[in-house]
Amino acid sequence: MFDASAQFYDAIYANLKDYGEETTKIAGLIRAINPKYRTVLDIACGTGEHARLLAKAGFTVDGLDLEPAFVRIAQNKNPEGRFVEADMRHFELTQRYDVVMCLFSSIGYARTLEQVTDTLRCFRKHLSADGAVIVEPWFAPGILDPARVDRISRERDGARITRTSRIELEEGLSRLLFDYEIVSSAGTRHLHEIHELGLFTQGELMGAFHAAGFDPTYDPTGPANRGLYIARVLK
């Protein structure tokens, strides 16, 4: 999905996301749930910024992502962890973790409630006996504006990267259209990406957690004002 833009991802989001503040909130939440928690699996880890900062905060962090370039970048940033290419909906690791987390709304890439439930079941399989799942949701239906067009530009390694983004909406689905213009001494090139994320209500996601065997709670704010689900396995 990010095959066109992986090398520019950190440059684009450097000023759009406050990874430091978000990670401080997540680390505090993890310690509040259980101060003995140490191991974290970062699902859809991207370029590994949250993982890097959580490791600096004293946690042992592994990660996975569907995009091979992200896995390579994340592994380089986090040489002490293990980062693998895998689909969050169905993966199998030998280790179990105190925390399985999925941030930056990546759960939306599951697209349907059935797939979200399967994804959460897979998360549960990778939890330690008393572990917790932390999931940051995508936007609910009715929030996104299909008339909105965003354009950002960044400089990196002698190139200027401009990303223009638009949104298309269908029943239960958002489609993000990203167009990139990269201008450098080698000339100008254009790239295009399409990302599809499911739109789910809070009630639908709570139901998916219950169906996957969790007892969830919901924080309407979360680390980046998109909300946050914290769930423990039903006893």
Q: Provide the b/e sequence for 112-125 (b: ≥16 CB within 10 Å).
A: ebebbbbbbbbbbe
- Tokens 């994804």 — which residue? 119
Which pairing describes strands 127-135 and 97-102: parallel, antiparallel, or unpaired? parallel
Structure tokens at 231: 């769930």
How far is the C-alpha of 169 from the C-alpha of 11, rounded, in Å? 27
- Tokens 């259980």 — which residue? 34
How far is the C-alpha of 171 from the C-alpha of 145, rounded, in Å? 14
> One fold for both 6-139+200-233 and 150-198?
no
The domain 6-139+200-233 is placed in CATH, from the list 3.40.50.150, 2.60.40.10, 3.30.70.1140, 3.30.360.10, at 3.40.50.150
Topology annotation, domain 150-198: S-adenosyl-L-methionine-dependent methyltransferases (2.20.130)
**Could you tell me where the beta strands, DSSP code E, fall in 103-172?**
127-135, 150-156, 159-170
Q: Maximum distance among all alpha carbons in the chain?
A: 60
| Mean per-residue pLDDT, 190-217 | 98
Q: What is the pLDDT of residue 15?
A: 87
159-185 pLDDT, tens digit each:
999 999 999 999 999 999 999 999 999
Which pairing describes strands 228-233 and 214-219: parallel, antiparallel, or unpaired? antiparallel
Domain ranges for the chain, please list them: 6-139+200-233, 150-198
71-129 pLDDT, tens digit each:
999 999 999 999 999 999 999 999 999 999 999 999 999 999 999 999 999 999 999 99
